[in-house]
Chains A and B, each alone.
Chain A
Amino acid sequence: MALKIVKGSIDRMFDKNLQDLVRGIRNHKDDEAKYISTCIDEIKQELKQDNIAVKANAVCKLTYLQMLGYDVSWAAFNIVEVMSSSKFTYKRIGYLAASQCFHESTDVIMLTTNQIRKDLSSPNQYDTGVALTGLSCFVTPDLARDLANDIMTLMSHTKPYIRKKAVLIMYKVFLKYPESLRPAFPRLKEKLEDPDPGVQSAAVNVICELARRNPKNYLSLAPLFFKLMTSSTNNWVLIKIIKLFGALTPLEPRLGKKLIEPLTNLIHSTSAMSLLYECVNTVIAVLISLSSGMPNHSASIQLCVQKLRILIEDSDQNLKYLGLLAMSKILKTHPKSVQSHKDLILQCLDDKDESIRLRALDLLYGMVSKKNLMEIVKKLMLHVDKAEGTTYRDELLTKIIDICSQSNYQYITNFEWYISILVELTRLEGTRHGHLIASQMLDVAIRVKAIRVFAVAQMATLLDNAHLLTGNMQRNGICEVLYAAAWICGEFSEHLENPMQTLEAMLRPKVATLPGHIQAVYVQNAAKLFATVLKSQEGNTDGTVTQDTSQLMIERLPVFVQSANLEVQERASCILQLVKYIQKLQQKDVEVAEEVSALFAGELNPVAPKAQKKVPVPEGLDLDTWINEPPSESESEDEQPKAIFTKEEPKHSRARHTEVDEKELARRREARKQEQANNPFYIKSSPSSQKVYQETPGVDHIPVIQIDLTVPLKVPGLPMSDQYVKLEEERRQKERAEKKKKDKKKRKEKRSGRGKKHDSGPESEEDITPAHMVDIVTEEMPENALPSDDDEKDPNDPHKALDIDLDKPLADSEKIPVRSHRAAEAAKSPVEDRDADGIATQLPKKKHGKEKREEKKKKDKDRERKKSKDEKKKKKHKSEEKDGDLLGAEVDEPVVQSEEPSQASEPPTSNSAEVSDLDFWLSNAPVPSNIQEVPKVAAAEAASAAEVISGGAQDSEPDEPKDAEMEATKPSKHKKKKQKKEKEDKEKKKKKHHHYHHHSDGVGEESVQNGTVEEEEEPLPSMSNYCLLAENSYIKMMMEDADQVYDIQGNLQDGSQVVVSVIFENKCDSFLKSMEFNVLDSLNSKLQRPEGSGPHDSLAVPFQLPPGVSNEARYVFTVQSIVMPQKLKGTLTFIVKTEESSTHEKLDFKLHFTCTSYLITTPCYSDAFAKLLESADLKSSSVRLEGVNMPFHHLLARICFHHHFSVVERIDSCASMYSRSIQGHHVCLLVKTSGQTVSIDAKCDEPMLLGNVLDEIKQTFSQC
């Protein structure tokens, strides 16, 4: 007892822990809620204490209670307190609680920013890990923005444990803060090649997630992923990548071709079912994307189907399920291959597992044919009878209807059968899909004219037996069917055998218990039937039948007049008055049948569901203008009953009012559409729906007919669809027999000629003729309907914001904001990088060392430089925006030329290089060895590549670029690239070498063969070779001697060509067309014209220019002598087309061919260069430039870029450069700088050329 007291008091001090809480709850099964509420009170007490251990304990218990469904958000602040504890144990508890119950609208979340930042940079990796894990669950846009930079830094943490978490969480950050995607992406991409498999897997995971939503932005990563796929052994990674490829292939069929082989290999080799399955899935995706053009296409399909069959036959239900799932994908494009496994799929319908049955049902949809439809549906009907559980039965029902109605009832040969199926389906108890059956009945009856007689008979029976349907009317949807039945009987009442009886059935008092909209249809169609009865009795002198009918109407209709449903009431009272009037006329023996039936004359046609939407807006009709003056403010207040509430802030309420209006309008529009869709009476403007309303003169000749009541009323029983199956069989048998007979006859005649001919075999689809002459009326569309596509994307999809072009270079404005007082730490990231790479040097230390060594020997210095360059290369992705300009320009100039016409005036970027790499990679034949070598996007691999290729670098390949060049003036850049790439991949390799050359370590030992990306402290200014050619108020022409095409034959007479790229930019706001480009040839330089055209003919520019658009065209010139600069006069003529008129304009220009433009960037190695200088036949010349105020590497870059030189060697402030003319002249430069003076010593075997080149160089630098 004493102990208990002690315990009680201690309890208050030291409280229950989680285990005690759980135990307590388990001991209070009867009054759990009460117990927990006392516990919560205790917890509240605990949270008030100062002891963090007590608080942590309390928070831990709260986490448990949260799982049981208790809202613990009131403790959010305490959770933050526990999170900020310095002890790992408590911190972990705090973060766990936060991850379970924080969300975007938790307001204390903004208090956590600094704490999380502190934890992220904690020296203890587990503190960081816990913070990352927690953050991944409750990251908000604010947190993402504030912490993006810190997390990005963690992506290069030394510990793989942190790296992988940081990589994963980036996805969440992207989702919340899409602006971070572009700056973070290069590093993310880098992580794909992380040495740690976990980090790699995380990066794959994130990129796959991103790419799944916006695949087109990630196409350029395909080569990298391909490499991973062929090298990785981690099944998780493989599955992700293969799934990703599945998403990419629809965008790039060439990728699919490349994938087929390795995937097929994987399918054959892997033992992991999960991997096999994903491979099959992706192969299917590939095959879907390749509509044609694969030679072993069918073999792959066959392989897939065969593997899937094995899966489906497996005893493991999971595999069976997945097999069926994948089959349904094949089904869409290759139904034939799946159809051969019909047996298997039908078997799956009997499976005890509902998931599997549903999958099998999905497959059936695509497997039906005219031949087997009846059989399959019969089987399904059996399942319907057997099925327990309404969901599965409803699913079956919808599937039956889907299958039968697919592609405009394509597979139905016997509509009587289909109607009977529908009628049978009405006998299902408790189905929710009455409206579906009803709409099918309506659709078939309206569109298949031949079936109307039968349909009407069936519907009459249904109406007669309506009590069967409504008898157990437990608010089920099946009575919807009566809606259809009543309408069909009314509308097509001329086919009714006994309209009187049906009329009677429709006016039974019990009808009043049906839903309102059905009653309305009943009433309306009763009137139609009435008209029919009158009509049929026309001419009959005995008026008893008509009078009986009228009497019936008058007796029964009042029930409906009293209906609570407005529509029923309105219709009933109208009709009642009408009938009363008719009765009066009848009593006067007036002929009324004609007039009454005129009420319902005219045919109703089906209208396409989208028809309304597609009605074009008539010209001159502005739907947005007010028809009446918009209601004034005071009026709207008067109208609004709730004006009391809105008076205080009239303006605000006004705004809201209009907004509501819009919403309301949209809602009403929607509702109206719905209504129209369901309403068979709704007629849209269709030519055939004019009502024939004939004014009959006089009412005197109403026929009075006597009904013969002795004829027994024939009540057909409910139809049995099975009998149709039998009938159909017989019919087909008969047909086949007849055909055989015919065949035999034919064969007899032909026998002499052919010999053996196999029996006609199984009948093909086309052989089955429909039982009725079926005329399926197509749905009507308004005249000149507008084509419109209706797929609308969900604007709320968070992934939409991530649709970002990742290849564009980063702009300064896009960088992730770094908090200013943390700038120093942010700058640390490269250092950490280096740490990660194992080079543990500190930045300041290193600089110091550099200075010291400056006095040392050259070798040492070079080594140092090389080392720093190594690092740079590793960081290359990050510094892309720095050297991107120059680098991109160089890659681009020889390889793809500026292709983005709109961007052409800017320096080309690395983007195009990457894209072209992809293209190149894709256009390559799928040879694995090639793949390993070619897709080198990363320059890190460039050095080795340069070595490999350098052997063949000096002698470039001949090629025939003329056609390509001529065609290259087309607007579509992809087409161009494809052509070019296929033709010139060899040349490209060579050209690539240029690129590599500038970045390679240099094979030479003592010096660095690199002039461009040496020191990156100062970014190079952007450069462009485009210069203004001519301009007027309409058009601007920019010219660049874009590409020198080097002819190996070196025939001095006619072999040398220069390609000129001209950008045409439309400056006015009219359309420019029929542009023609002409140049007055000189003796030396000639414009190449297509064969057959004269020397003065102009070339048509192969595009037109809408306002503000620019595009590029290229022209090839043949040059004979290249030692002198040239000027050519030319004219551009074009038509300016404005709305009223078009004028003919012309623009004169002068093409200036500098000697530089005859030079072609050619790499040269130092030893070859030395040999060249030794050879005596070079003439030398020199030039001095004064006042050049730019860093040396900028100077070199300028010469390289503008004058097509390449750096051979660079030693301090001295560099040797080399270039070659298109006719094979060597040009060598030695550039030295001291202060602001630059001296250039040059050697060339053609002094004239050299002189001109030097002049041009001088001019370049005098301009800047």
Chain B
Amino acid sequence: MIKAILIFNNHGKPRLIRFYQYFTEEMQQQIIRETFHLVSKRDDNVCNFLEGGSLIGGSDYKLIYRHYATLYFVFCVDSSESELGSLGLIQVFVETLDKCFENVCELDLIFHMDKVHYILQEVVMGGMVLETNMNEIVAQVEVQNRMEKSEGGLSAAPARAVSAVKNMNLPEIPRNINIGDINIKVPSLSPF
């Protein structure tokens, strides 16, 4: 079972949190802080497994994480999950994000947290691995996006017009936030 999936950036700012067991919001934030603290002090060339998240889990649980450019993807899993398997799963997830967002970068995750959730829902459900075939995941996500589009999306036409007005000539709203190259580099896949 996967107990939690956390994505946060190099400064510990959460980009997506998904707990499969109930924790209060306060506790969730503590867990994120603790996990960030544990993970961030590790070099990039050490192993991706970590024991001893004291807040989440216990002896049966491991933190399995990967660090892509500015983001940490952390899965907290128990002993029924294969370590290398979970690592592969993170890879599948990130590659799927890459496909769905076309060159995913941190900004995509920042502004489209809901979409990232929807993609994750096709990979992991209730703490158990649902699908590992990337094409299948992407296909399901796309069908659902199309459905959403056909319904007019969340911000239907009038709202969109309004937001166009809202953004016009308003200097305090930066249109394009340029934070340099924060594209997530997807390393070549190890055979899994």
Enumerate chain A interface residues (CB-CB to B < 8 A).
3-4, 6-7, 10-11, 13-14, 17-20, 22-23, 26-27, 53, 56-57, 60, 63-64, 66-71, 87-90, 92-93, 96, 100, 103-104, 126, 132-133, 136-137, 161, 164-165, 168-169, 171-172, 198, 201-202, 205-206, 208-209, 212, 235-236, 239, 243, 271-274, 277-278, 317-318, 320-322, 352-356, 358
A178 to B130, CA, bound (A): 22
Contacts of A6 in B (CB 8 A): 165
Contacts of B190 in A (CB 8 A): 273
Contacts of B174 in A (CB 8 A): 23, 27
Contacts of B47 in A (CB 8 A): 317-318, 320-321, 353, 355-356
Whether A66 and B80, one on each chain, are in contact in the complex, defined by CB atoms closer than 8 angstroms, is no
**Residue of A with least CB distance to B28:** A69
Whether B177 and A26, one on each chain, are in contact in the complex, defined by CB atoms closer than 8 angstroms, is yes
A353 to B45, CA, bound (A): 9
Given contacts A126-B143, A321-B49, 5 further A-B contacts (CB under 8 A): A63-B113, A103-B22, A198-B130, A274-B84, A318-B49
Whether A277 and B84, one on each chain, are in contact in the complex, defined by CB atoms closer than 8 angstroms, is yes
**Residue of B with least CB distance to A21:** B111
Whether A168 and B130, one on each chain, are in contact in the complex, defined by CB atoms closer than 8 angstroms, is yes
Whether B29 and A69, one on each chain, are in contact in the complex, defined by CB atoms closer than 8 angstroms, is yes
Q: Verify if B132 is at the interface (C-beta below 8 Å from A).
A: yes
Interface string of B14-47 (1 = CB under 8 A from A): 1011101010111011000000000000110111
Whether B118 and A92, one on each chain, are in contact in the complex, defined by CB atoms closer than 8 angstroms, is yes
A803 to B169, CA, bound (A): 66
What are 19 A-B contacts defined by CB distance under 8 Å?
A: A3-B169, A17-B159, A23-B111, A89-B152, A96-B118, A136-B125, A161-B140, A164-B131, A165-B125, A205-B128, A205-B129, A235-B85, A243-B82, A273-B192, A274-B87, A317-B47, A353-B43, A355-B46, A358-B51
Partner among A88, A165, A169 whose Cβ is within 8 Å of the Cβ of B151? A88
Shortest A1206–chain B CB gap in Å is 47
Whether B154 and A17, one on each chain, are in contact in the complex, defined by CB atoms closer than 8 angstroms, is yes
The 10 tightest CB contacts between A and B, nearest first, are A136-B126, A274-B84, A317-B47, A103-B22, A353-B46, A69-B29, A14-B162, A321-B47, A89-B148, A318-B47
Shortest A737–chain B CB gap in Å is 47
Whether B159 and A239, one on each chain, are in contact in the complex, defined by CB atoms closer than 8 angstroms, is no
Partner among B82, B117, B173 whose Cβ is within 8 Å of the Cβ of A23? B173
**Residue of A with least CB distance to B51:** A355
A272 to B43, CA, bound (A): 26
Contacts of B188 in A (CB 8 A): none
A320 to B83, CA, bound (A): 12
Whether A87 and B151, one on each chain, are in contact in the complex, defined by CB atoms closer than 8 angstroms, is yes
Interface residues of B in 88-122 (CB under 8 A from A): 88, 110-111, 113-114, 117-118, 121
**Residue of A with least CB distance to B126:** A136
Partner among A56, A165, A277 whose Cβ is within 8 Å of the Cβ of B82? A277
Shortest A1000–chain B CB gap in Å is 39
Contacts of B80 in A (CB 8 A): 208-209, 212, 243
Shortest B44–chain A CB gap in Å is 10
Q: Verify if B133 is at the interface (C-beta below 8 Å from A).
A: yes
Contacts of B48 in A (CB 8 A): 317-318
Whether B154 and A56, one on each chain, are in contact in the complex, defined by CB atoms closer than 8 angstroms, is yes
Contacts of A243 in B (CB 8 A): 80, 82
A14 to B157, CA, bound (A): 11
Contacts of B163 in A (CB 8 A): 14, 17, 20
Partner among B50, B114, B169 whose Cβ is within 8 Å of the Cβ of A60? B114
A169 to B125, CA, bound (A): 8
A254 to B129, CA, bound (A): 31
Contacts of B121 in A (CB 8 A): 96, 133
Partner among B126, B144, B148 whose Cβ is within 8 Å of the Cβ of A172? B126
Contacts of B133 in A (CB 8 A): 198
Contacts of B29 in A (CB 8 A): 69
**Residue of A with least CB distance to B45:** A317
Number of CB contacts from chain A to chain B under 8 A? 188
**Residue of A with least CB distance to B148:** A89
**Residue of B with least CB distance to A277:** B84
Contacts of B17 in A (CB 8 A): 67
Shortest B56–chain A CB gap in Å is 16
Whether B49 and A88, one on each chain, are in contact in the complex, defined by CB atoms closer than 8 angstroms, is no
Whether A70 and B172, one on each chain, are in contact in the complex, defined by CB atoms closer than 8 angstroms, is no
Whether B51 and A7, one on each chain, are in contact in the complex, defined by CB atoms closer than 8 angstroms, is no
A273 to B83, CA, bound (A): 11
Would A198 and B136 be within 8 Å (CB), given that A20-B163, A22-B110, A164-B131 are in contact? yes
Contacts of A18 in B (CB 8 A): 111, 113-114
Shortest B35–chain A CB gap in Å is 14
Whether B128 and A69, one on each chain, are in contact in the complex, defined by CB atoms closer than 8 angstroms, is no
Partner among A63, A126, A205, A352 whose Cβ is within 8 Å of the Cβ of B144? A126
Would A355 and B50 be within 8 Å (CB), given that A18-B114, A209-B1 are in contact? yes
Shortest B75–chain A CB gap in Å is 14
A69 to B32, CA, bound (A): 10
Shortest B105–chain A CB gap in Å is 14
Partner among A89, A103, A172, A321 whose Cβ is within 8 Å of the Cβ of B153? A89
Shortest B71–chain A CB gap in Å is 14
Q: Verify if B180 is at the interface (C-beta below 8 Å from A).
A: no
A10 to B168, CA, bound (A): 13
Contacts of A13 in B (CB 8 A): 162
A168 to B136, CA, bound (A): 17
A168 to B87, CA, bound (A): 21
Whether A88 and B192, one on each chain, are in contact in the complex, defined by CB atoms closer than 8 angstroms, is no
Whether A67 and B16, one on each chain, are in contact in the complex, defined by CB atoms closer than 8 angstroms, is yes
A281 to B192, CA, bound (A): 17
A278 to B190, CA, bound (A): 17
A168 to B130, CA, bound (A): 8
Interface string of B142-170 (1 = CB under 8 A from A): 01100110011111101100110110111
Partner among B22, B84, B129 whose Cβ is within 8 Å of the Cβ of A318? B84
Contacts of B168 in A (CB 8 A): 3
A96 to B144, CA, bound (A): 14
Shortest A14–chain B CB gap in Å is 4
Whether B125 and A206, one on each chain, are in contact in the complex, defined by CB atoms closer than 8 angstroms, is no
Whether B165 and A88, one on each chain, are in contact in the complex, defined by CB atoms closer than 8 angstroms, is no
Whether A236 and B132, one on each chain, are in contact in the complex, defined by CB atoms closer than 8 angstroms, is yes
Q: Verify if B187 is at the interface (C-beta below 8 Å from A).
A: no
A136 to B118, CA, bound (A): 14
Whether B154 and A57, one on each chain, are in contact in the complex, defined by CB atoms closer than 8 angstroms, is yes
Contacts of B42 in A (CB 8 A): 353
Would A206 and B117 be within 8 Å (CB), given that A57-B155, A198-B133, A355-B49 are in contact? no
A356 to B47, CA, bound (A): 8
Contacts of A235 in B (CB 8 A): 85, 192
A87 to B148, CA, bound (A): 9
Whether A352 and B43, one on each chain, are in contact in the complex, defined by CB atoms closer than 8 angstroms, is yes
Contacts of A164 in B (CB 8 A): 130-131
Shortest B153–chain A CB gap in Å is 6
A235 to B85, CA, bound (A): 9
Contacts of B28 in A (CB 8 A): 69
A104 to B170, CA, bound (A): 45
Partner among A208, A274, A353 whose Cβ is within 8 Å of the Cβ of B85? A274
Shortest A800–chain B CB gap in Å is 16
Interface residues of B in 46-78 (CB under 8 A from A): 46-51
A1222 to B23, CA, bound (A): 70
Whether A352 and B126, one on each chain, are in contact in the complex, defined by CB atoms closer than 8 angstroms, is no
Would A322 and B166 be within 8 Å (CB), given that A63-B114, A88-B151, A235-B192 are in contact? no
Whether A11 and B166, one on each chain, are in contact in the complex, defined by CB atoms closer than 8 angstroms, is yes
Whether B84 and A273, one on each chain, are in contact in the complex, defined by CB atoms closer than 8 angstroms, is yes
Partner among A56, A67, A322, A354 whose Cβ is within 8 Å of the Cβ of B14? A67
Shortest B41–chain A CB gap in Å is 10
Interface residues of B in 170-192 (CB under 8 A from A): 170, 172-174, 177, 190-192
Partner among B22, B87, B144, B156 whose Cβ is within 8 Å of the Cβ of A88? B144
Contacts of A60 in B (CB 8 A): 114, 154
Would A89 and B151 be within 8 Å (CB), given that A67-B113, A205-B128, A236-B85 are in contact? yes
Shortest A316–chain B CB gap in Å is 8
A90 to B25, CA, bound (A): 24
